[in-house]
Structure 1
Amino acid sequence: MLVGVDIGTQSLKVAVTDFRLAVQGAASRCYHPLFPGPDRAEQDPLLWERALRPAITDALAAAGATARHVTGLAVCGQLDGCIAVDRQGEPHGPCLTWMDRRAQAELADIDKDRLHAVTGIVADASHLAAKIRWLKRQGNMNSTARYHQPVSYIVERLTGIAVIDHALASTSMLYDLRAHDYDAALLSAFGVTSAELPSLAQSGDCAGKLNAQGAALTGLPAGIPVAVGTGDDFSTPLGAGLVEAGEVSVAFGTGEVVGALFAEPVIDAQCLVETHAYPAGGYFVENPGWLAGGAVTWLKDLLGIESYDAFDAIAAMAPSGSDGVVFLPALTGAMAPEWIAGARGCFYGLTPAHGTSHLARSLLEGCGFAMRDVLTRLKTLGARPSSIRFLAGGSRSRLSAQLRADISGLPVFLPQHSDSSIIGAAMLAGVAAGTFANIKDAASHLAAPVRCLTPDAGAAATLDRSYQRYRQLFAAIKSLVPQPSHAHVDNR
């Protein structure tokens, strides 16, 4: 048996698979991020640690297996978080998550053009390097040994080894895409040394064996191979079988990540999409996402809707185009059609005739419009998608999936298992344990998609008109976006 773990923003998920990557048992544990300010989003790393053992235990029970059946373990999960740890790997404080943009001022003196040319990513406070610089400027970091992303943090806690894969490292603003290594000039610019970062390895490499602490945290026997792992932006399409250039995925999780596989490191001059190393080879060119599933959770709770299924049913009561209501999915900053950290979400077009269903549907439509922005840019850069693979938790929503088909004009394929990140993690566990020769060999065992949704011409025409209103609204509100402060020190 192989165990794949996904450290999500709202839950930790576990899958137990057989050696054909068929899920035999799955389980999860929920938790939440904290939002202590408009530009801040934190999470206690101990939430992930405490969730590991019960989720793994439940997944094994669902599979009718025991810990002694497990031959490999891998962890994947959220990108761009920053955790400072001491020499024992203990965290100094909360993780500054991918949604946290408090470090915007740390980019003021960075050569953004060179950063973009070298790393293929946008100079943005969501990324690791800015957060490290911000933490250092706050002081009290003298005992810090390393700065981790969530996946590498958990891998060190399980194995005692500080290691990160090239794909995750390529999200940090410190990684040279062509040299496949940290860039000395960028390290210097952000005031980081390579010794303060995990060492680099391939995602399917064995990071180390599960140590005594790892055994206690997981309930698995010490000595099990633990893969290096990767970020969920990469494990999600990987677990759906995306290993060849030209394939496109849309992952509707807490954030919505839209990307395509390219053979070469394409750099977007407009900075809408970023380029990352990809575990199976080549490059994943993506927009790293806006709050999407997280926005659904926010509105569901705000309106007192009892479940996600009920949210979908309510949204389906409104017509295509939501009777003129438009939602901008920028609750934690805009990521499409432009990256504007200070932008905020809004509903526009409300009248007394509108109700809960219009709000719910327009939120789903607005996320789909942002997807269209990214798809259009990917096509301009050379992607030629013939279909979309719609992944992550949002793929369980028939309405969300159909909206992606209607808005994109492409058929949408749905996976066998909606949480494909944990399947991607199981693939890496199998590679690290020697079950599979490599990642592409692992992918050859994956089941085909279960369903295909095709565009509805009538709905597509209505949504196209709504999309034009969405773009007009975005252009109109740009003047309202506050300019970032350039003060470096937080005076809380």
Structure 2
Amino acid sequence: MSHYLTFDIGTTALKSALISSEGRVLALHTSEYTLRAPAPDRAEMSPETYWRAAAEGARAVYATSGADPRALAAIGFSSQGQSFIPIDRAGRPLHDAIVWVDNRAQAVADEWQATWLSREEYRRISGYPWVPASLTLFKVAWLARHAPDAHLAWKFLCLPDYLIYRLTGETATDRIIAQFSGLFDLGTRRWEPRLLAAAGITEEQLPHIQEPGSVAGALLPGPAAELGVPPGVPVCVGANDQIVGAVGAGNVRPGIASETTGTALALVATTETLREGRGLCVGHHAVPGLSFAMAFANTSGIVLKWLRDLAAPGESYEAFLAGAAAVPPGCDGLTLLPHFAGTATPSFNPDARGAISGLTLAHTRAHLARAILEACACILQECIAEVENQGTAITRVRSLGGAARSDLWLQIKADLLGIPVERPVCSDAASLGAAILAATGTGAFRSIREAAEAWYRTAITFEPDASRHAAYQEVYQRYTALYQQLYG
């Protein structure tokens, strides 16, 4: 039986997976790594670390599954955005990977915004609702001032592009990774000439842009030996991990949204057209002819970790939340704002901070824990409202990430939102999505939508309870009122 090898390149780990031709996970391996911080506001990684993680992961999933490498149909990708590596003509890195969380280019972004690049103009070009210094664009411009030798690179490659180059010798990217670099024009679907000029580079220094899932090239013999698979296998471009995860969650029709509650919270909604929401990151979906709207929060599930580490270090989340189910909706008047690192959608207020209101001597640890679960559901409601305000009704949510393992949390989300919330069978939606893209790109399916709907499976659906939904409207009103009271 044929299968697909996928690499999901995260900030702190690379996940390798084998996915069967029926869309089932045969094996999964996680290779962790630690970012380097050579100076304040810097985050870097040796490019070789990513390559070693991919080679290690490929061999590990074959060893675990017992699958025959000769049945490998294609290699696919999912990846963080923005992180990049400048290379010379021989493929040698001229600088360590500059990771997306690196903030060295803040002064560049501020200067451009103050002098010529307005937030509104940049939103129109890029789909970003603000001008984030984390983008590849501003860090390439930073290199021109502070590391001119690296700025003379033959190619600037984002992480999946770099691994594709190592595997095939080709320099290719997909249009979604291109968008998330900040150098891409949504209107023309090309690299944006004014931004390239401002960054001091040319289009020839960037990879050519392909459709998500399309074949970039054939696997070379040397890299094939390192991965333990045959040469000549098609290697396909992927897309940004949030969009690939949406594909893996079957989020390929308007009305469906996928959300990930982890350290932060991200919501991806499929829309018929490109939306104009000022609080949304928008772009063209991996499914041709559709668009996406992305809303997010800076902190969500990490606030539960904060409380757990304070109150019960080392305790499992299941044990820590054991008493929360007995607390009634609304937590007996307790309201929490989980904005421990500012807000994103919809207010984008970097000065906002967390708050707890309504505490009494009757409140317990279980009340505080449930208040965090409810607050994260309120964030999700804010994000969905921003999408719906632009004309796309959300009728179903598919939950991903660590929080999706909690029945209580998913039921709270369903009750507060008033719509069904699903837990997928495959918790590694980005790995599944990368395989879906590669399978489509190599002809196993006629379209990404067909593949996604064939392979997506629901484990359980949490239906909203009408009486609890009514009670949660008061909870949501308290949540929004507290924010308005503190920050206007």
Higher deviation after alignment, 24-33 or 444-453? 24-33
Q: In the aligned structure 1, how far is the partner of 2:103 from the partner of 2:469?
A: 35
Identical aligned residues as a percent: 31
Deviation at 1:74, TM superposition (A): 0.6
Q: In the aligned structure 1, how far is the partner of 2:263 from the partner of 2:18?
A: 23
Q: In the aligned structure 2, how far is the partner of 1:134 from the partner of 1:153?
A: 20
* 1:92 and 2:95 correspond: yes
**Is the CA contact (8 Å cut-off) linking 1:267 and 1:274 kept in structure 2?**
no
Q: Which of 12, 17, 25 in structure 1 is aligned with 2:14?
A: 12
Matching of residues 2-81 of structure 1 within 5 Å: 2-33=4-35, 45-81=47-83
Could you tell me which residue of structure 2 aligns to residue 387 of structure 1? 396
Higher deviation after alignment, 225-234 or 285-294? 285-294
Gaps of 5+ in 2: none
Q: Which of 452, 470, 476 in structure 1 is aligned with 2:461?
A: 452
Q: In 2 relative to 1, CA 377–299 (structure 1 residues): closer, same or farther, beyond 3 Å? A: same
Matching of residues 75-474 of structure 1 within 5 Å: 75-87=77-89, 88-90=91-93, 92-97=95-100, 99-108=101-110, 109=112, 110-122=117-129, 123-140=131-148, 141-142=150-151, 144-212=153-221, 214-215=223-224, 217-268=226-277, 271-281=278-288, 282-296=290-304, 300-301=308-309, 304-313=313-322, 316=325, 319-340=328-349, 342-343=350-351, 345-349=353-357, 356-474=365-483
TM-score (norm 1): 0.86
Q: In 2 relative to 1, CA 212–244 (structure 1 residues): closer, same or farther, beyond 3 Å? A: same
Q: In 2 relative to 1, CA 299–211 (structure 1 residues): closer, same or farther, beyond 3 Å? A: farther
Deviation at 1:4, TM superposition (A): 2.1
Q: In the aligned structure 1, how far is the partner of 2:363 from the partner of 2:54?
A: 43
Deviation at 1:166, TM superposition (A): 0.9
What is the aligned-residue RMSD (CA, Å)? Answer: 3.0
Cα offsets for 1:219-251 (capped at 9, x unmatched) = 333322111111111111101222223322212
Higher deviation after alignment, 442-451 or 208-217? 208-217
Q: In 2 relative to 1, CA 172–472 (structure 1 residues): closer, same or farther, beyond 3 Å? A: farther
Q: In 2 relative to 1, CA 461–244 (structure 1 residues): closer, same or farther, beyond 3 Å? A: closer
Query: Structure 2 counterpart of 1:136, which letter?
Result: A
Q: In 2 relative to 1, CA 398–114 (structure 1 residues): closer, same or farther, beyond 3 Å? A: same
Gaps of 5+ in 1: 480-492
Q: In 2 relative to 1, CA 426–370 (structure 1 residues): closer, same or farther, beyond 3 Å? A: same
Q: In 2 relative to 1, CA 313–151 (structure 1 residues): closer, same or farther, beyond 3 Å? A: farther
Cα offsets for 1:16-57 (capped at 9, x unmatched) = 122121222223233455678896655555443333233333
Higher deviation after alignment, 391-400 or 202-211? 391-400
Deviation at 1:295, TM superposition (A): 4.9
Q: In 2 relative to 1, CA 451–12 (structure 1 residues): closer, same or farther, beyond 3 Å? A: same
Q: In the aligned structure 2, how far is the partner of 1:290 from the partner of 1:453?
A: 26
Q: In 2 relative to 1, CA 463–134 (structure 1 residues): closer, same or farther, beyond 3 Å? A: farther
Q: In 2 relative to 1, CA 155–393 (structure 1 residues): closer, same or farther, beyond 3 Å? A: farther
